[in-house]
Amino acid sequence: MKFGTKAIHAGVEPDPSTGAIMTPVYQTSTYVQASPGDHKGYEYSRTHNPTRTALQNSLAALENGAYGLCFASGMAAIDTILKLLKPGDEVISTNDLYGGTYRIFTKVFAHYGIKFHFIPMDNAKEVEKYINSNTKLIWMETPTNPLLNIIDIKAIANLGKKHTVITVVDNTFATPYLQLPLDLGVDIVMHSVTKYLSGHSDVVMGAIILNDKEVAARLAFLQNACGAVPGPQDCFLVLRGIKTLHLRMERHCDNAAKIAQFLSEHPKVDKVYYPGLSTHPNHAIAQAQMKAFGGMLSFTLKGDKIEDAKRFLERVELFSLAESLGGVESLCGHPATMTHASIPKEEREKAGLKDSLVRLSVGVEDVEDLIEDLRSAIG
């Protein structure tokens, strides 16, 4: 099946008892057994739930993976992946990444004896210099959050295979509609399902998709043992959201490309971060591994004053100032004080994240209205 067909049909079947075309919300905590151990595949909803099973199968199909696991949040998914490690292990991570990821790396797992290296990943040969016998995992975001850097997924995945290191891609910004990291050789794909997969700003959820049966079993054990699982109602909402993922992403991408072009030509805008622009340093890699360039972009205003950025954020009307991204409505944010505030200022600046940077999650509204809103707010 092609992607649009998979988005609507993969992993889901009409309910066998009623013929309902939509997967029912199995709002139950437990399941009746005929005798001890004799059941219909379900015992307790922390371990398995039919609505969650349908969503996990759907996500696995979209990413061309064999196994899908859903969690109560994207952070719970990250937490579960890191529990594959042990004290003394080392992780190589991109230096431009979501603040919550940086926080759990440095403020939680670093206290359990895991060492993290935050480095640029635009050159695989430079990344290889950090690999040693203790390196067990390489963590990528691509496009990165919030500077929209692009990492050559295949090159880093090949490094992982060469050195027997697990490679992970946070595919939240791109979604499986735009890029398929497992097809490029990555071991694990992670999502904040909260964002584009759900797409309607009404769910908090995370997911992991992979092909390795043994690692999937370990992650499924952790999913059950630690218990950070989503409820069936949220799973139902994401299943509904996925059915329009391909349609939404096309509009997100189209709108963002036009807005990036508008901003790049505006006399008061200094720098625009968007992989779809030919001036982007990783534009060629983005073209090679992505179907389109996504709905996220960031920019700075000339003069690089945080006061100007704040004034802009206070003046927008259609772009709502809020945490998160990936919904049908357009959002704007100030990473330095919002999504990335947990990263120390010196580390942010080392990665190129200035205090004046504004991040846009471009929605699916009429782009002419969005451009007019930006024009008015910039002044």
pLDDT of the chain along its 379 residues, tens only?
999 999 999 989 999 889 999 999 999 999 999 999 899 899 999 999 999 999 999 999 999 999 999 999 999 999 999 999 999 999 999 999 999 999 999 999 999 999 999 999 999 999 999 999 999 999 999 999 999 999 999 999 999 999 999 999 999 999 999 999 999 999 999 999 999 999 999 999 999 999 999 999 999 999 999 999 999 999 999 999 999 999 999 999 999 999 999 999 999 999 999 999 999 999 999 999 999 999 999 999 999 889 999 999 999 999 999 999 999 999 999 999 898 988 888 889 888 888 999 999 999 999 999 999 999 999 9
Whether 103 is catalytic is: no
For the chain, helix (H) and strand (E) counts, in that order, are: 14, 12
| Residue 256 and residue 276 share a domain | yes
> 249 and 233, same structural domain?
no
Q: 240, 269, 285: which is the final residue of a domain?
A: 240
From the list 6, 136, 195, 354, the catalytic residue is 195
Q: Within a 10 A sphere around the Cβ of 192, how many other Cβ atoms?
A: 29
Same domain membership, residue 270 and residue 133: no
Q: Strands 206-210 and 67-71: what pairing?
A: antiparallel
The whole-number pLDDT of residue 342 equals 87
Q: Write down the catalytic residue from 42, 46, 258, 304.
A: 46
Q: What is residue 112's predicted lDDT score, i.e. its pLDDT?
A: 97
DSSP 44: B
Active site residue 271: no
Same domain, 250 and 234: no
In the numeric block, the tokens 């649009």 are attached to 4
- Tens digit of each residue's pLDDT (9 = 90 or more) over 148-171: 999 999 999 999 999 999 999 999
Domain that holds residue 293: 245-378
Based on the fold, state whether residues 193 and 253 are members of the same structural domain. no
Residues 221 and 334 placed together within one structural domain of the fold: no
31 is catalytic: no
Are 291 and 345 found together in one domain? Answer: yes
Q: Are residues 161 and 266 in the same domain?
A: no
Pair (28, 149) in one structural domain: yes
Please give the single-letter amino acid code of residue 67.
Y
Q: How far is CA 243 from the centre of its chain?
A: 18
Q: Are residues 158 and 280 in the same domain?
A: no
Please indicate whether residue 348 is annotated as part of the active site.
no
Domain boundary among 191, 208, 240: 240
Backbone angles phi, psi at 191, to 5 degrees: -135, 140
Read off the CATH number of the domain in which 171 is found. Answer: 3.40.640.10
In a 10 Å sphere around its CB, with 0-12 CB exposed, 13-18 middle and 19+ buried, how is residue 126 labelled?
exposed
- Quote the number of domains for the chain: 2
> 79, 96, 170, 373: which one is catalytic?
170
pTM of the model: 0.96
Give me the residue label for tokens 């995370």: 206
Angle made by CA atoms 107, 109, 111, in degrees to the nearest 5: 70
End-to-end CA separation in angstroms for the chain: 48
The verdict on 179 and 281 lying in the same domain is no
What region, left, alpha or beta, does residue 301 occupy, with left being phi > 0 and alpha being psi -120 to 50 degrees? beta
Q: What is the pLDDT of residue 304?
A: 87
